[in-house]
Structure formats: C-alpha cells, structure tokens
Amino acid sequence: MMPTRRSMILGLLGTAAVQPSRVFAQGGAAPIKIRVASVVSSAWLPLWVAKDKGIFLEKGLDVEIMSVQNLSTTIGALGRQLDISGATAIDIVKAAASGLDVVGVCGNTLETAANRQMRLIAGKQSGVTSIGQLIGKTIGTPSINGVVHIATLLALKRGGVDAKGVRFIEMMFPNMVDQLKAQRIDAVEEVEPFVSALNKAGHVDLGDPMLQVGDPVTLTSWMANGTWARANPEAIARYVAALEEARANIAAHEVEAREVLAKWTRLPKDVIESIVLPTYSTALTATHISAWIEAMRETGQLSAELNPSSLVLK
C-alpha cells in the first residue's frame, strides 16, 4: 500500500523528534530543491523560521524563497518558475474556476474570534458607527475580490447593505492609515499591525468580516500546480512537516521568532514587538475551501461549479 501524504508528514515529524540534527543530510542524498513565493508579512513567519533555523535542510529540502508584492501574480508561474506559492483560499478557487490546475498544499494561518487579524474600520470623522451606515461611502481595499474584500462583501450583504452602493478603491495596507486620516476614504479593510494603530487613534471598529465566513476560517495557505504536486508527494510532505515544526518553534521561542520576523520584514523593533502574531496552522481540508466557495456564491462572485475536494491535495 502506498503511504498517504499525512502518514509521510507524521513520519517526518516523528523522525525529527528522535534525531533532530540533519537526519536527511546525514543520509548523503542531495536535498530536494523547491522554489517558493510569499509576500512580506507576519503571516509567513513559519516559512522564514523553517529557512533560518535549518528546519528545511533537516527535512532534506533546499528552499529558495522569492518575495513578491501580490500573491495573485504567482499562479501563472506555478509548475514553471515556482513550485509552491503562498495563497488564500480565494486564489485557489478563482484559479480553479478559470480552468487552471491548482491545489491547496496545506494551510498557513487561521482567523479566529480569539485572535483577529482583520477589521473593517471607519474613520472617526466619517460619522459611520455601524456596517449599515456604509451605503454611499468609500472603502479602501487591498484587492478587489481578494480574500479580505470577499469577507467585507459578505458582511455588507448580511448587514443589509447593497455593495453596489459602496465605492471601493484599491490601496496598500500601509497607505490606508494616511488615506483614512486625510478623509479621502470613509472606511478601510485593514489587517494587523495597522488595525491596532487605527484603534489607538480613535477610529471606529466595525468588526471582523472574516468571521462571517467561519470561525475559525482559513486566511492564508499554500498552493501548487496540481500536476507538479501529484508528482512530488515526498517533497510536499517534507515541506509541510517543516512548516509544522516551525509553527511549534514559534510557539516555544517567540522572542527568537520575532527576531526572524524583523530580519525578513525590516520593520522597526517597536513595530515587531507590537505585532499580534496570527494563528498558524498547516491544516487545510475541503471544508476550509468550501466555506470560501459558499461566501463567493453568496456575494455573487462565483458561478462555476467546483468540487472543493479536488482543490486540496490528498
């Protein structure tokens, strides 16, 4: 019987627990090279910890990391210039709806009521104190029809607001703070660490739209070209096992993990210390993807028929 990906991952974790010192490197085999892309944010800290702490090498992987501005631009490079890319469930669903062969490899971060990374925040001078008052207003979004935006559309719909009566303007997360302060927009779809800064400045927290999709709900994940993923189960098992070990390392050594975060993000020390780290999780199932498929359907952003089970690597 062929081993499953889950059994391979558990085996790799068990081996590392017994012999944590370069168990694969000692075997004499050259490490498997994997090219990976992510954006620069605290969401991807497990990737950087696995790289800097030598966890990838211990698992027999030589991981080359590429930092990009927008993860949606990496889909076309999968199976060519890239092997694995950071993603959101929305990226996976949209790619599949367009006929592309992509699969979710594993999870990365979760949004939970106990640890919220996203908020819909209204400017303190906008007069808006509830979602229902956003009709006719302008909202800053990181990406039209991206994961944060879909969550906002869902919250608006369930709050009785027709999104057609709301204007959305794309802008980068750091720019939202200044745009809101200058009153050029009325509200923003913001994430940490900017959420904390806006709350401290007295702006109005309208809640976390992401929790309309689920609690917990998958926020970020990892994806790959389906053909490549199905041909390289061992490499993927090692990759997921390394991320899982990195997740545990972050939990056990947060101070050191924040030093890694500072290195890769180049953020000031005071910002690094103030960041509320996300809830990291490598879990990714058809149920996680299905929640976002239903959210996209409810907001009118998806018409294609998709099987969520086919969008997650078995």
Answer whether the bond into residue 193 is a cis peptide, omega within 30°: yes
Q: Give the domain-ending residue among 212, 231, 250.
A: 212
Are 183 and 234 contained in the same domain? no
Based on the fold, state whether residues 80 and 122 are members of the same structural domain.
no
Residue labelled with tokens 């702490």: 53
Among 178, 212, 246, the domain boundary falls at 212
pLDDT of amino acid 4: 60
pLDDT of residue 20: 39
Count up the domains in the chain and report the number.
2
Q: Are residues 221 and 186 in the same domain?
A: no
Alpha helix segments (H runs only) across the chain: 5-18, 45-52, 55-58, 89-97, 147-158, 173-181, 194-200, 226-231, 233-252, 254-265, 269-274, 286-298
One domain, residues 103 and 192: no
What is the rounded CA–CA span in Å between residue 307 and residue 29? 38
Which residue segment(s) compose the domain that 135 sits in?
118-212
CATH number at residue 79: 3.40.190.10
Same domain, 103 and 10: yes
Mean pLDDT by 10 residues, the chain (314 residues): 56 48 56 94 96 97 92 88 95 94 96 95 96 96 92 96 96 90 95 86 95 95 96 96 98 97 91 91 96 96 94 90
Q: DSSP H helical segments within 1-75, as ranges?
A: 5-18, 45-52, 55-58
Q: Which of 212, 231, 266 is the last residue of a domain?
A: 212
Neighbours of 69 (CB within 10 A): 9
* Closest by CA position to 293, among listed 308, 309, 279, 281: 308
- Kindly state whether residues 22 and 107 are assigned to the same domain: yes
Collect all residues with Cβ–Cβ distance below 8 Å to 72 and sequence separation of at least 6. 91, 143, 146
Stated pTM of the model: 0.86
